[in-house]
Structure 1
Amino acid sequence: MKVIQSVKNPQVKQWRKLATRKERDKTGRYMMEGFHLVEEALSYKNEIEEIIMEENIVLPAKWNMDGIPITIVTAEVAKSLAETETTQGIFAVCKKRDSKNALEQGTTFLLIDRVQDPGNIGTMIRTADAAGIDAVVLGKGSADPYNPKVLRAAQGSHFHVDIVQSPLEEAISLIQKKGVSVYGTALQNAENYRDIHPSKGFAVLVGNEGSGVSQELLSLTDHNVYVPIYGKSESLNVAVAAGILLYHFQDSTKGV
């Protein structure tokens, strides 16, 4: 067990770099913060590289930390690592899951086109997990799925669902070659989602908060659908719309 007392320590500087997308992409590592997320990570020990905890932190008795490197740090160091205003003083450095075969092996997917709000990305990952979706695929222009705000919004679902970063044109082609239909979301030239009832796999494609799914991607889908609005709102939040569609299509494939 190591002890680090200075924010100038080279290891601390390396940890802080994980706050940037560049470093996360370069190293294939990311940092989770807080008791709930670290506890979730402990169920997937092979994805944990190390745990960092503030001195005097009392860990839950049920936690099994066997075999995991632990570093004790001062409150000052913990505060320098924190992405929350009031840190709980515990962190886990994790390895990104190897999801390179998710498109080939899965049958249900959420495809995300240029969604930029980390909260929306995290909520959609959590919703996809709850709906039993095999993989979430993020195209170019979307927020980093390992952004700290995404991790907090997803509440540990990164350990339960495959997350793929891929050009969506390529992902759509691979999915369709498997015989799985891709359903885009659009306001024009689209069908009411309730009229669509897939009997096996499916992929739902949602888009940018302001402009929606790009026309280029909509031209590649098998069908485009919309969620009707009965009130005066101009549109639904993208994460809410994704949840409605994922559950509807999943119910359909299960014959519910």
Structure 2
Amino acid sequence: MITSVQNGQVKQWRKLKRKRGREKEQAFLVEGFHLVDEALKSQWEVREIIFREDVDIQNEWQSYTWYQVSHEVFDAVSETENPQGVAAVVQMDELEWQGGSRVLVLDSIQDPGNLGTLIRTADAAGFDAVLLGKGTVDPFNDKVIRATQGSVFHIPLFFGELEEWIPELQGQGFHVWATSLQQATVYDELEPVTPMALIVGNEGAGVNQSYINMADERVSIPIYGQAESLNVAIASGILMYYLRN
């Protein structure tokens, strides 16, 4: 059992709590029985499982590389307030673009909870991929992972410059919608088509105007009360489910 936070293995795990460490190691941490189980059931490679000393090791997990650690060590690795005592190190998956019928495109989403909810909702709505543009928070951030509730292992994530992705998608036959508050058509006045890409934007600024100009359609959701706008994850959920019609 590992009991010292100065242990070399523990130091490696703690590096994964920072984006720089995750990028260098091409790996990230997940915590809790549900997320570890989701990782193990997926096609992603689980490097090792970490158990706190008071947690029983599940029989079906014993075939993986695992470490038992003290309470002090687990607390040093954990980022949750009330950890369940189990975590895993997951290798970042290298995916190849396969196209699809419906793709969610994210422009500078900065709140981890919003990003996790967007990924989870895209998974639930049966979208084929999520494209993360520059300025979007790291999807392997602990708060994002927890907000996805495991959907990060179900739907492919891709990264890149949207000014390159948008024309590439259009070249592949995708019809591109961008959310906008100006000169936009109310979404349910348009017929959903496939393949389709939906661009949603930053919590404060919305979709970058240059990307709006590149889109095939500008769409909006009507506000019936006095709220200034909808949360980006809520708005995206409405639109993604509409696009299933």
User: TM-score if structure 1 supplies the norm length?
Assistant: 0.92
* Gaps in structure 1 of 5+ consecutive residues: 252-256
Report the counterpart of residue 254 of structure 1 in structure 2. Answer: none
The match for 1:210 is: 204
Please identify runs of 4+ aligned residues in structure 1 that moved more than 4 A: none
Per-residue CA distance 1:174-203 (angstroms, 9 max, x = gap): 211111111000000110100121332211
Instruction: State the partner residue of 1:118.
Output: 112
Hey, what does 1:88 align to over in structure 2?
A: 84
Q: How far apart in 2 are the matches of 1:238 and 1:18?
A: 28
Q: State which of 42, 45, 56 in structure 2 corresponds to 1:44.
A: 42
- Which residue of 1 is the match for residue 2 of structure 2? 4
CA distance in structure 2 between the aligned counterparts of 1:204 and 1:232, rounded to whole angstroms? 26
- Could you tell me how far apart the structure 2 residues matched to 1:67 and 1:59 are? 11
Corresponding position of 1:201: 195
User: Is the partner of 1:58 in helix, strand or coil?
Assistant: coil
Contact 2:187–2:219 (CA under 8 A) maintained in structure 1: yes
Shift of 1:47: 1.9
Deviates more, 1:105-114 or 1:51-60: 51-60
Distance 1:59 1:130 in 2: 31
AA in 2 matched with 1:81: V
In 2, the alpha carbon distance for the partners of 1:87 and 1:33 equals 8
Alignment RMSD (CA, Å): 1.3
CA 1:201–1:65 in structure 2 vs 1: closer, same or farther (change >3 Å)? same
1:42–1:64: 8 Å Cα contact kept in structure 2?
A: no
Take 2:79 and 2:54, find their aligned partners in 1: how far apart are those partners?
Answer: 20
* Selected match of 1:187 from 161, 168, 181: 181
What is the TM-score when the length of structure 2 is the normalising length? 0.96
Structure 1 residues 120, 71: CA separation in 2 closer, same or farther (over 3 Å shift)? same
Partner in structure 1 of residue 31 of structure 2: 33
- What fraction of aligned residue pairs are identical, expressed as a percent? 47
Gaps of 5+ in 2: none
CA contact (8 A) 1:121 1:145 kept: yes
Contact 1:97 1:162 in 2 (8 A): no
Would you say how many aligned residue pairs link Structure 1 and Structure 2? 245
